[in-house]
Structure 1
Amino acid sequence: MSVNTARSLGDFLRSRRTRLDPASFGFSGRRRTPGLRREEVAVRAHISPTWYTWLEQGRGGAPSAEVLDRISGALMLTDAEREHLFMLGLGRPPEVRYKSVDGVNPRLQRLLDSLDASPAIIKTATWDVVAWNDAAAVVLTDYDELPVGQRNILQFLFRNPDVRAKQHDWENVARFVVGAFRADVARAGLVSEVGELVNALRTTSAEFDALWQDNEVLGHGEGDGVKRLLHPTLGSIELEYSAFSVDGRPDLSLIVYAPLDDEVARQIRALAAQCRRRRVTGKAPEKDMSLE
């Protein structure tokens, strides 16, 4: 760690320490300066007061990830502040801390809904779909009809014959999904958490078992970036897909499928509008002859 980086780390620690209210942590006594004392931070972080003092003074050397995590907890840092702490101390972001997700905030849902002709989903690091738009419901899967615990992309692909029948080249799609899934769960430190899902799929699908044993690792950017589907209404269609991390939530990914054909986009928009009306009114809409 360079002298300038060490000094920046010390300045950051000091600024976060002095903003904390001692009384809220059970510390009392008169103080010359605001915030916690260095010794109090060290006690909360379960590290040596001398070592912490050296870090603030820019002469402690490079701390370990474990020490930075303890200090982050002691200083009550936000996720963004914790990432900044790791960048200063180790020159890299921390490992992703996985959070269970039941849905997304209204801002993200509005973003999805604005993509009226492009199917879009938000998935977790374990490939559970937690949010989607109407275009995704009519082109990919109507996730709203499935229980929360059954909205996993790998389960769709290897257990749902309707989803499998939609894939233009199921074998290559399956290989990509398994390789990208393996990379995502390892990056998020969730290998043990997905053990039950993986074991169940290996038991029920010989194809998944063979792909899993290949140990192939793939990134979302690999391949030609085009998803080809055999849709029961739209026929053979091509969608260009892109994946994005969700700001402030590195454990979530936004995937958008943009139709390559203007006529297909028009038809998806019409189907999505029907889906939206059905959801609002609870009634099946009249058949749209424009889709013929």
Structure 2
Amino acid sequence: MAASRTELGDFLRRCRAGVTPEAVGFDDAGPVKRRVRGLRREEVAQLAGVSVDYYTRLEQGRHSSPSEAVLEALARVFRLEPAARAHLSDLAHPVRRRAEQPPVQRVRPAMQQLIASMSEHPALILGRRTDVLAANALARELFTDWTRMPPGERNYARWMFLDPAAAELFVDWRTVAAEVVGTLRLYAGRHPDDVRLNELVGELTIKSADFSAWWNGHQVHERTHGVKRMIHPAVGPITIRYEALPLPGDADQVLFVYHTDPGSSSHDNLRLLGLLSGRTTSGHDHR
């Protein structure tokens, strides 16, 4: 429990630092110069309707069971988005499990066939910790061929931070990579005892200064939909949209389907990439 209380305190401090006094109605032009960025503890306590001592104990990890009413008040003060609100609740009320490996995730054969049939749309399925469980031919051409990696290294976050080609592919790599860290943060709050996640975070923290800085920033991100801008080495610029679809009945598996705007140069370049690959019209795919 101690580790979770530390995570909760770190998250609250990050949230407090991210809110300006002016945004919540405090005058920051007083004679006493602020020593901290963002709100003071007593200001958070006042806005949330709790005592300063109570809030201080929360940040210092000396209180382990805040009520949902208190968490809702803090989320309102910090103006948290739904994903960050859920993350706050996960940190405050962690579900403790034995520190062991969960069952190996496998994609149902029907889902394998479905994404393989998407010859004009890159598609992949990510599991726990952004493990790449399946990807169709066009997704492997667009991003990287995870099937050529050892099974233990087929991970989207690992590829994003440790493969230099990923940084060259995305025009806005820093934004995309920071969102991946936020996704791992969200998962870590839900599964604090995941051994493999802890190993992955440890490896990326050591090998990537960017990952370490963003991880310590405690930002969270929930993947729903969005746009990615790329410069593909084979066909040039591609601006592509994605939809993230959680799979019913398959816990912690998310299907990502990518598409381009019809009639755009990105649409033409994606079609060209499919033709160059020589595999998108074959009706054959493999994990």
* TM bracket (short chain): 0.5 to 0.7
- How far the C-alpha of 1:206 sits from its partner, in A, is 0.9
CA displacement 1:189-239 (0-9 Å, x = unmatched): 5554411111111111111100000000111137xx101111001201011
Matching of residue 121 in structure 1 with residue 124 in structure 2 = yes
Distance in 1 (CA, whole Å) between partners of 2:269 and 2:96 is 40
Q: 1:168 aligns with which of 163, 167, 171?
A: 171
Q: How does 1:81-230 map to 2 (within 5 A)?
A: 98-101=102-105, 103-188=106-191, 190-221=193-224, 225-230=226-231
Distance 1:95 1:202, change over 3 A: closer
* Aligned residue number for residue 241 of structure 1: 242
Distance 1:274 1:188, change over 3 A: same
Runs of 4+ in 1 over 6 A off after TM superposition: 94-97
- How far the C-alpha of 1:163 sits from its partner, in A, is 1.5
Distance in 2 (CA, whole Å) between partners of 1:220 and 1:157 is 16
Distance 1:159 1:276, change over 3 A: farther
**Conserved in 2, the CA contact under 8 Å of 1:188 and 1:251?**
no
Matching of residue 264 in structure 1 with residue 249 in structure 2 = no
Q: How many residues align?
A: 183
The amino acid that maps onto 2:221 is L
Distance in 2 (CA, whole Å) between partners of 1:255 and 1:119 is 8
Q: How does 1:66-85 map to 2 (within 5 A)?
A: none
Q: How does 1:32-71 map to 2 (within 5 A)?
A: none
Which has the larger Rg?
A: 1
The amino acid that maps onto 1:178 is V
* Aligned residue number for residue 251 of structure 2: 250
SS of residue paired to 1:249: coil
The amino acid that maps onto 2:240 is L
Q: Which runs of 5+ in 1 are unaligned?
A: 1-93, 281-292
**Conserved in 2, the CA contact under 8 Å of 1:220 and 1:243?**
yes
Q: Which runs of 5+ in 2 are unaligned?
A: 1-94
Give the structure, 1 or 2, with the largest relative contact order (CA under 8 Å, sep 6 or more).
Answer: 2
Q: Which moved more, 1:103-112 or 1:194-203?
A: 103-112
Distance in 2 (CA, whole Å) between partners of 1:165 and 1:118 is 22
The amino acid that maps onto 1:204 is K
**Conserved in 1, the CA contact under 8 Å of 2:121 and 2:138?**
yes
**Conserved in 2, the CA contact under 8 Å of 1:226 and 1:240?**
yes
The amino acid that maps onto 1:99 is P
Distance in 2 (CA, whole Å) between partners of 1:276 and 1:146 is 24
- How far the C-alpha of 1:184 sits from its partner, in A, is 2.6
Distance in 2 (CA, whole Å) between partners of 1:245 and 1:221 is 9
Distance in 1 (CA, whole Å) between partners of 2:103 and 2:131 is 12
Q: Which moved more, 1:193-202 or 1:265-274?
A: 265-274
- How far the C-alpha of 1:247 sits from its partner, in A, is 1.9
Distance in 2 (CA, whole Å) between partners of 1:104 and 1:95 is 27
SS of residue paired to 1:255: strand
**Conserved in 2, the CA contact under 8 Å of 1:117 and 1:259?**
no
TM-score norm. by structure 1 comes to: 0.57
**Conserved in 1, the CA contact under 8 Å of 2:224 and 2:245?**
no
